[in-house]
Structure 1
Amino acid sequence: MSARVREFFRRWIIQAVSDQFYSFGTAISWSALSSIGNSRIARLTIIMPFVGYLIVFNSTLSDYFSTILPADLAHESGDLWTFLYSRNLYFLYFGLLLFGGGVALFNVVAPSQIRRFPAAESYIAAMDTIRTPNLVIGSFENTIGMYFASLHGEERSSMFVARRIGFPSDVSGDLHRFVERLFLATEFSDEDFEPAEDRLGSRFWTGSGYLMTDEVLDVAYSGRRADRILHVALLDEAVAHPTDVFYLEHRALEYHRSAARIIVFLFYAMGSALLVFPSILTSILILKFW
């Protein structure tokens, strides 16, 4: 019975929550958040808390901007509605504080490439105008660095669906397909990297004929001098495909720093909720006492 309960709990609760969190984490990419963070109007909210501070703690201005219910509505609505309505200025202040904090945080922690070019097409076009072999190699190495930092163990395998919001499965799949193209273009064989007497079958290929691109990357970036030939060969092939390299880098950067993305979103969400609360409260009162 306990095994069934654990299985039910794992399948219908833990797995369901995990799936929802993964969907949520991949939906709020830096590109999605940039629609607010890059807005000039939204950037003005960064200074609004300071202006709000002067208003809230200045008795003259606070009285001028304060809101109170008309006497007849205040009598009918009760103390709670009167209290909430009289605090509209505070809701606006804290809403702007949180929203402005989210905008400021976005402009600090979001990758500069995404802030300047939220769309992959714009980023590729901009990078293509200044493209050099070193620039392409740098972008490729940046993507590989995010791959190694975000995925661990079997998560790096092309046959494993990595549900990491910092490096989602679709980005991982694109990278594995690209690495496979690069490796096949190098025309290397297992003999170049492993002595025949130590080889039990194939190092880079599965028994069913699939290339283990995670093993290719592990060898290429092992740091061993003997494996550096593969590393250099992959970079040489990557230089010949700059569009793919820039696209992969942009895609990976969209989900980089996942914790910061969630924090920025929460700041936006809480700030927006506080900002619209006075309007919702006023609408409720109008409808209630129509």
Structure 2
Amino acid sequence: MNSVEATLERPYTDNEPLPVARHRSEGAVSTLVLHSMLQCKRLLMVWARDPATTIQTLLYPALTLLMFRIVLGDSISAATGKPSVFGTVPMITLIAAMTGAVVSAFGLKTEKATGLLGRFWTMPIHRAAGLTGRVLAEAIRVLVTTLFVLAVGYAIGFRFEQGPLAALALVGIPVLFGTAFAVFVTALATVSEGVMVVHVVGLVNTLLMFFNTGFVPKVAYPIWLQDVVANQPMSCAVEAMRGLSYGGPVAEPLLKTLAWIVAAIVVFTWPAVRGYRRAAETGA
């Protein structure tokens, strides 16, 4: 028996003070990590129990991928000379990473409207844990979605032809891409009202989805639009993932993808932090 157990088991006299438990400081890094994990677990449990989130996270991307394969697969393969699945699978993982963030944005607005953010703000919880836990939960959601889409893609011909390390790097791209997009959506959700989040995110998703190299190479677009299409974030990520699976250039599109991810995080982190704090304080 150690000294702590002996202290807890021995009886106390009336005049002897009871031991006081030591609490972590609310601003400590260890507290941030612990509370972020708890917030992440809470959000994942909420999403797991919500049928709409399940549909948005798993069924919608899988069905979209199958639809593209059935309707456009052969045409894309004939036009590009490469199997279409090596472009559409990466593209769908990225689209799913972005569209799933809308569900999280609605959840954030609901928590604000119901006062849950305000209650968290007044409790002895690390002030940054709510936001970091949400971003971590988004990363896990994107990882689950990516693995599910890749499994469906494998069933229709997608393969990792460049080895296991390239496969791990490929899986990491949508996770980082989705995390950066989640920061953008969080910033937007905390400053907008009504269905503005849906409209803005829907517009961004549509533009990125239809003007990227996941369908056809950039030469299929008008000359004046080719450079824009080739260098937009989704095209860079798709080309990097195509190179890591089918083969082809990797370094340049991967560096461009990382540059887009870092730029999005740098630009939108501060608005997200300020907006989250304002939402929590007004709901307190």
TM-score scaled to structure 1, two decimals? 0.21
Q: Could you say which structure has the greater relative contact order, defined with CA pairs below 8 angstroms and 6 or more residues apart?
A: 1
**Structure with the greater alpha carbon radius of gyration:** 1
Normalised to the residue count of structure 2, the TM-score between the two structures is 0.21
